[in-house]
Amino acid sequence: MFFQSAYTDVTPAEALVMIQEEKAVLTDVRESSEYAESHIPGAVLLPLSVLSEKAEEVLPDPSVPVLVYCRSGVRSVKAAKILASMGYKEIYNLKGGFLAWPYERT
């Protein structure tokens, strides 16, 4: 049986292209205090701590691609797996998280 990963890791450069071309909903899964301090422009906040309860509200269409990130990539992997278990079809994880993001920050 072929096993398909629940998500695909993308580099910051690949993520930037996805964001610029609006190919995915950029989703920050850190806590609100981290988001308020700094985040990638255009990101919606959906903390891992409330992801299961709030995902359908913040990300209503499970067929729309989602690009998740956190501080270093650990929480976003957990978030990607949870989203996949909830029926989201196309999930991308920013490899290295916000720490690896060399581009504009808000």
Look at residue 87 in the predicted model and tell me its pLDDT.
Answer: 96
Whole-angstrom distance, CA of residue 98 vs CA of residue 106: 12
Measured CA to CA in angstroms, residue 83 lies from 10, 17, 21, 29, 89 at distances of 17, 22, 22, 11, 8
Q: Hey, which residues are catalytic here? A: 70
pLDDT tens digits for 12-53? 999 999 999 999 999 999 999 999 999 999 999 999 999 999
**pTM of the complete model:** 0.94
